[in-house]
Amino acid sequence: MVRDVKPDAPHIDPSALRQVSARAGLEWLGVAPVEPIGDGWFAPHAAALTQWLDAGYNGEMTWLAERAEERLVPRHLMPEARSALCFWLPHRTPTPDKPDGPTGRVAAYAWGRDYHNILRKSLRKVLRWLIAQRPSIRTYMSIDTGAVLERAFAERAGLGWIGKSAMLIHPKMGTFGSLAVMFTDEPFAELTPPERHPDRCGTCSACLTACPTGAIVAPGVVDARRCISYWTIEHRGAIPAHVRPWLGEHVFGCDICQDVCPWNRDAPRASAERWQPQHAWADLGAWIRSTSDALDASLEGSPLRRARGEGLRRNALIVAANIGAHSLRGDIERVAASDPDPVLRETADWALERLDARRASGACPPNSP
Ligand code: B12
Ligand code: SF4
Ligand code: SF4
């Protein structure tokens, strides 16, 4: 039985909620209804998740399957949930110039401070205000890591549509934004648009064509096992040899399907002041020479830490080989000879072989970096 808002509860003013969320630094707020048993508008999203998991597209991200029940039926996560407040935080700043020397490309969401922390702070401000309006209010917050299909709610809340790249596309802000969802037991029906946002991909298929690994296996469906983002961020341990060349120069994440999207062409950039893009380009040599623990510690407060020090150094070794960074040969040899981590030693051996092969094939001129 669905519980209604308590009769003694004062009604929360929806326009005031909008202002509060804007003051908390959240660029857009939309509200989606949470269906009683995860059906209604949510049903095709639930079906898409089931098919996706059945196909094994989650790779080794077993945590997605383990909490599938809550993703599929949001009220299993929070039985009293009536609405999902969906927030959008743009994160793309102007691209800093590529520095000299061997560098790896980092996905835009990780150029500055960890968006999880920024969103958490902002959402807490909204939550404090909600509690002041109705002390009995119940909420559940998901900032990326909750068992919530965030894009599905954001789409229903009118923030945009899910494009063929599987990205949520905001008509003004494009795709370079992070999402957060807060379930509440307040209906906020006034803020819910009557329908989902129309799909505006039209005949475009630029993302499908541009994805270098064919990871977008159908419109809106990404096979993580082919996605550079998965291998460089989520995968632990050795990256299989056949996958290593796929990384190209991508040392953490991948933005190719977003970079080619026409909806990003005129999208406003987030303020560099707020985001301070410090990690757009990774100094491969510095990462390879560092110890894994020291690298990890130096990245406090950055989303790069998700891959851990050893994962970042593994990626750096692969990218160094992919781009033919011969100047790093000595550093790579030191990892191959004496790094305590067997995965890194093996990856370094592979990198040295690949550098040799590139030079032998004439792919790298003698004076390459
Ligand atoms: C697991 C995960 C990944 C995995 C798997 C990617 C994937 N497509 O699922 C990997 C590691 C590969 C990944 C990569 C990236 N991710 Co990610 N990821 C997630 C996470 C944690 C869960 C996503 C999930 O549940 N996937 C399961 C599949 C089934 O869901 P889905 O891909 O969203 O598919 C939906 C639609 O496509 C739709 N759909 C598909 N077919 C059909 C058919 C019909 C009829 C309908 C109605 C719907 C439909 O239904 C699905 C469910 O809604 C979310 C955070 C969250 N809690 O939601 C972030 C999230 C989706 N990622 C995000 C980002 C930024 C990225 C990257 C851009 C990072 C980067 N630069 O490297 C890439 C982009 C890759 C891509 N093109 O999707 C953002 C997306 C923001 C946005 N604007 O959309 C999120 C929301 C994190 C956040 N809080 O901001 N990610
Ligand atoms: S993030 Fe890169 S590898 Fe993954 S789907 Fe997009 S273009 Fe393909
Ligand atoms: S690149 Fe084209 S097809 Fe892909 S998401 Fe953007 S508009 Fe849609």
Q: Render pLDDT for 351-360 as a digit per residue (tens, 0 to 9).
A: 999 999 988 8
- Residue 216 Cα, ligand 2 centroid: separation in angstroms? 7
Q: What are the tens digits of pLDDT across the range 227-278?
A: 999 999 999 999 999 999 999 999 999 999 999 999 999 998 887 777 788 9
Ligand 1, atom 8: closest residue by C-alpha? 222
What per-residue confidence (pLDDT) applies to 368? 60
Residues 346 and 258 in one domain: yes
In a domain, 54, yes or no: yes
How far apart CA 157 and CA 196 sit, in angstroms, is 7
How close is the Cα of 356 to the center of ligand 2, in Å?
A: 28
Domain identity same for 101 and 219: no
SS3 content of the chain, % helix, strand, coil (to 5): 45, 15, 40
**C-alpha 161 chain-centroid distance:** 17
**302 has pLDDT over 80:** yes
Rg (CA), the chain: 22
Task: Summarize the confidence of residues 23-44 as an average pLDDT.
Answer: 89
What percentage of the chain has pLDDT greater than the value 70? 95
Of the ligands numbered here, which is closest to the C-alpha atom of 260? 3
**83, 177: one domain:** yes
Burial of 360 (0-12, 13-18, 19+ CB in 10 A): exposed
| Strand order across the beta sheet in which 139-142 lies | 28-33, 83-90, 177-184, 139-142
76 occurs within a structural domain = yes
Q: What is the mean pLDDT of residues 61-77?
A: 95
What pLDDT sits at residue 57? Answer: 98
Q: What is the mean pLDDT of the segment spanning 21-28?
A: 91
Q: Predicted confidence band at 5 (pLDDT cuts at 50, 70, 90)?
A: very low
Quick one: 28 and 87 in the same domain? yes
The share of the chain scoring above pLDDT 90, in percent, equals 85
* pLDDT the model gives residue 86: 97
* Band of pLDDT at residue 1, cut at 50, 70 and 90: very low
Judge if 99 and 228 occupy the same domain: no
Claim to verify: residue 157 and residue 295 sit in the same structural domain: no
Mean pLDDT of the chain, nearest integer: 93
CB 282 within 8 A of CB 106: yes
Burial (Cβ within 10 Å: 0-12, 13-18, ≥19) of residue 367: exposed
pLDDT of 366: 54
- pLDDT-derived band at 362, boundaries 50, 70, 90: confident
CATH of the domain at 39: 3.40.109
Give residue 3's pLDDT: 41
For residues 154 and 233, membership in a common domain is answered with no
For residues 350 and 272, membership in a common domain is answered with yes
Residues lining ligand 2, Cβ inside 6 A: 211, 213, 215-216, 222, 227-229, 254, 256-257
For ligand 2, atom 2, the nearest C-alpha belongs to 254
Tell how far the Cα of 227 is from the centroid of ligand 2, in angstroms.
5
pLDDT band at 365 (very low <50, low <70, confident <90, very high): low
Q: What is the pLDDT of residue 38?
A: 67
Q: Identify whether residues 230 and 178 lie together within a single domain.
A: no
Residues 136-184 pLDDT 10s: 999 999 999 999 999 999 999 999 999 999 999 999 999 999 999 999 9
Whether the CB of 219 sits within 6 Å of ligand 3: no
Does ligand 3 have an atom closer than 6 angstroms to the CB of 260?
yes
> Domain range spanning residue 252?
213-361
* Enzyme catalytic residues: 144
Distance 58 CA to ligand 1 centre (A): 11
Query: What is the spatial distance between Cα 133 and Cα 122, in angstroms, rounded to a whole number?
Result: 17
- Cα 95 to middle of ligand 1, angstroms: 23
Atom of ligand 3 nearest to the CA of 264: 6
Ligand nearest to the Cα of 175, by number? 1
User: Is the domain of 185 the same as that of 262?
Assistant: no
Give the binding-site residues of ligand 1, using a 6 Å CB cut-off.
44-45, 48-49, 52, 61, 64, 107, 109, 142, 144, 146, 148-152, 162, 165-168, 175, 177-179, 220-222, 224, 227, 229-230, 233-234, 253-255, 257
Instruction: Return the pLDDT at 369.
Output: 60
**Pocket mutation for ligand 3, best pick of 151, 164, 259 (most atoms within 8 Å of C-beta):** 164
175 in contact with ligand 3, CB cutoff 6 A: no
- Among residues 185, 177, 171, 186, which one has the least CA distance to residue 150? 177
pLDDT at 269: 86
> pLDDT tier at 367 (50, 70, 90 boundaries)?
low
Number of domains in the chain: 2
Pairing of strands 28-33, 139-142: unpaired
Place of tokens 């934004």: 177
What the block records as the tokens of 213 is 């690994």
The DSSP H or E segment spanning 199 is: none
Closest residue CA from atom 1 of ligand 3: 261
In whole angstroms, give the CA distance from residue 156 to residue 241. 41
How many Å lie between the centroid of ligand 1 and the Cα of residue 64?
11
Q: Same structural domain for residues 62 and 181?
A: yes
Per-residue pLDDT tens over the stretch 197-219: 999 999 999 999 999 999 999 99
Q: Which atom of ligand 1 is nearest to the CA of 175?
A: 83
Q: Judge whether 206 lies within some domain.
A: no
Of 274, 245, 247, 220, which Cα lies nearest the Cα of 111?
274
- One-letter identity of residue 246: W
Greatest C-alpha distance within the chain: 79
136 and 255 fall within a common domain: no
